[in-house]
């Protein structure tokens, strides 16, 4: 009996000693968070800004649940297939607990189903197409959705600009552009306006003379361009060259420094619906973030970097409330986010994964994006 007790005591001590390092490692091991963003390619500006925002946010809050955070970045190269492969790699190879991305709707639609199937929560900073979260339990966003910004743009054009006839040019190669254009058109017609010219282009096009000639012939009161920054800037340059003198309205996809550098004086006066302006910062986190971002980068905080930070902060907030990094528990916490004081404002997330939040109206003045107003949902 004594021998048996001694053997049991030795085994107990052995298991305790063996278990201690593992337990300590688990307690202090990093929480892996993945990012899949377009760091190169046609919309690289978005990915670069969002990545910069995440890095600043990570410096501000480098731990969660008492554990350090380890970030993994995969470049989607602005491509849908690369986006899907990136999510697969982050989940299977890097073993991430949550994913930030993608920046644009088409690429998020490619990556979302993989995260959903694997039960890994994904938060997109800026994918605004409603389809992104549709029937996706594990896909969320921290930005508003296109029906809201399309409606607000139409309302501003009708009520404030006094426009009754609108012309449009839509990039048919991008889900975001097609969806947003349709939402604007429906809302503008509902307001009492008329779409007098509907033209199309493709990502990468350089010459918009034919479309602009059609638009000029229709004599619109406003030109709506629900496209990305390069196409918007080039369209504005060519519109001025052809003598088309009407207000130009665009959207969040144009809020990038490249719009200003490519468009120059030709984008002066352009109005856009956007996600963030530091003049409209309403939370303490926003003020802290703006100060940290400008100190770290030497640049002014903008919509895309702010939303990159918000995606990061929201994931950490959900893990903290869930007291876990387990996918289903974090998903539940994300779905029940209420009154989160984010960088871009107060964020509420419903079970559909969509953020309910305000937008800001900006215009280009003196070569800069300048704040006009805040519009609440």
| 310-349 tens-digit pLDDT | 999 999 999 999 999 999 999 999 999 999 999 999 999 9
User: Cβ neighbours of residue 46 under 8 Å, at least 6 residues apart?
Assistant: 37, 38, 103, 104, 126, 256, 304
Average pLDDT over residues 95-119: 97
Query: Domain check: are 135 and 284 in the same one?
Result: yes
Integer Cα distance of 185 and 201 in angstroms: 17
pLDDT at 27: 66
Average pLDDT over residues 94-111: 97
Average pLDDT over residues 252-281: 95
Query: Domain check: are 266 and 303 in the same one?
Result: no
Domain boundary pick from 240, 274, 308: 274
Whether 4 has a pLDDT exceeding 50, the answer reads no
Q: Which two tokens stand for residue 69?
A: 């955070």
Judge if the upstream peptide bond of residue 224 is cis by omega within 30 degrees of 0.
Answer: no
Query: Domain check: are 84 and 189 in the same one?
Result: no
Integer Cα distance of 94 and 223 in angstroms: 45
User: Cβ neighbours of residue 151 under 8 Å, at least 6 residues apart?
Assistant: 183, 184, 187
Q: Taking Cα atoms as reference points, which of 27, 305, 48 lies closest to residue 313? A: 305
Q: How far is the CA of 35 from the CAs of 95, 104, 199, 272, 281, in angstroms? A: 12, 13, 35, 27, 26
Query: Domain check: are 127 and 110 in the same one?
Result: yes
Q: What is the pLDDT of residues 165-213, one digit of tens each?
A: 999 999 999 999 999 999 999 999 999 999 999 999 999 999 999 999 9
Q: Which two tokens stand for residue 312?
A: 């990061």
Number of domains composing the chain: 2
Q: What share of the chain is helix, strand, coil (3-state, %, to 5)?
A: 50, 20, 30
Supply the DSSP string of 144-162, one letter for each residue: --HHHHHHHHHHHHHHTS-
pLDDT at 351: 72
Q: How far is the CA of 257 from the CAs of 4, 139, 228, 343, 361, in angstroms? A: 75, 28, 12, 20, 16
Integer Cα distance of 260 and 33 in angstroms: 33
Read off the pTM. Answer: 0.87
Q: Give bridge partners of residue 371 from the DSSP assignment.
A: 362
Whether 20 has a pLDDT exceeding 90, the answer reads no
- 69's enclosing H/E stretch is strand 67-75
Domain of 232 in residue numbering reads as: 147-274
* % of the chain with per-residue pLDDT over 70: 93
pLDDT band at 30 (very low <50, low <70, confident <90, very high): very high
**Which is more confidently placed, 57 or 8?**
57
- Average pLDDT value for the chain: 92
Query: Domain check: are 198 and 218 in the same one?
Result: yes
The reply to whether 371 falls in a domain is no
The reply to whether 151 falls in a domain is yes
Whether 19 has a pLDDT exceeding 50, the answer reads no
Q: Taking Cα atoms as reference points, which of 90, 45, 48 lies closest to residue 71? A: 90
Query: Domain check: are 246 and 314 in the same one?
Result: no
Query: Domain check: are 128 and 166 in the same one?
Result: no
Query: Domain check: are 231 and 168 in the same one?
Result: yes
The reply to whether 198 falls in a domain is yes
Q: Which two tokens stand for residue 281?
A: 């910062």
Cβ-count burial 240-270 (b if 16+ within 10 Å, e if not): beeebebbbbbbbbbbbebbbebbeebbbeb
Q: Give bridge partners of residue 32 from the DSSP assignment.
A: 70
Whether 63 has a pLDDT exceeding 80, the answer reads yes
Query: Domain check: are 242 and 328 in the same one?
Result: no
Reported as half-sphere exposure (CB side, CA atoms, 13 A), residue 106 has a value of: 23
- 261's enclosing H/E stretch is helix 257-263
Average pLDDT over residues 16-41: 72
Task: Count CB-CB contacts under 10 A for residue 366.
Answer: 6
Query: Domain check: are 91 and 192 in the same one?
Result: no
Domain boundary pick from 258, 274, 290: 274
- In terms of Cβ atoms closer than 10 Å to its own Cβ (0-12, 13-18, 19+), residue 97 is buried
């Amino acid at each position: 009996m004594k021998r048996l007790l001694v053997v049991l005591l030795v085994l107990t001590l052995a298991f305790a000693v063996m278990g201690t390092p593992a337990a300590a490692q688990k307690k202090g091991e990093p929480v892996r968070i993945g990012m899949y963003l377009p760091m190169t390619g046609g919309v690289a500006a978005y990915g670069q800004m969002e990545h910069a925002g995440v890095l600043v946010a990570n410096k501000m809050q480098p731990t969660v649940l008492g554990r350090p955070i380890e970030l993994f970045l995969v470049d989607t190269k602005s491509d849908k297939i690369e986006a899907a492969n990136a999510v697969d790699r982050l989940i299977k190879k890097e073993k991430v607990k949550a994913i930030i991305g993608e920046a644009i709707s088409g690429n998020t639609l490619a990556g979302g189903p993989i995260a959903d199937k694997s039960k890994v929560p994904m938060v997109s900073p800026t994918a605004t197409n409603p389809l992104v979260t549709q029937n996706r339990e594990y896909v969320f966003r921290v930005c508003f959705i296109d029906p809201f910004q399309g409606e607000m743009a139409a309302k501003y054009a009708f009520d404030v600009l006094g426009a009754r006839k609108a012309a449009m040019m839509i990039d048919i190669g991008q889900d975001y552009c097609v969806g947003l254009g349709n939402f604007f058109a429906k809302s503008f017609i509902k307001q009492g306006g008329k779409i007098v010219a509907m033209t199309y282009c493709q990502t990468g096009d350089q010459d918009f003379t034919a479309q602009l000639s059609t638009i000029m012939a229709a004599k619109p009161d406003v030109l709506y361009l629900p496209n990305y920054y390069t196409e918007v800037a080039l369209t504005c340059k060519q519109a001025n060259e052809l003598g088309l003198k009407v207000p130009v309205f665009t959207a969040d996809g144009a809020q990038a420094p490249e719009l200003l550098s490519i468009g120059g004086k030709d984008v002066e006066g352009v109005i856009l619906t956007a996600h963030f302006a530091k003049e409209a910062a309403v939370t303490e986190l926003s003020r802290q973030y703006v100060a940290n971002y400008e100190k770290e980068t030497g640049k002014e905080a903008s919509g895309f970097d702010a939303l990159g930070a918000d995606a990061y902060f929201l994931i950490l907030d959900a893990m903290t409330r869930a007291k876990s990094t387990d996918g289903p528990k974090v998903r539940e916490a994300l779905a029940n986010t209420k009154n989160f004081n984010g960088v871009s404002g107060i964020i509420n997330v419903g079970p559909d994964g969509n953020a309910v939040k305000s937008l800001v109206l900006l215009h280009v003045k003196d070569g800069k994006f300048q704040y006009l107003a805040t519009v609440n949902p």
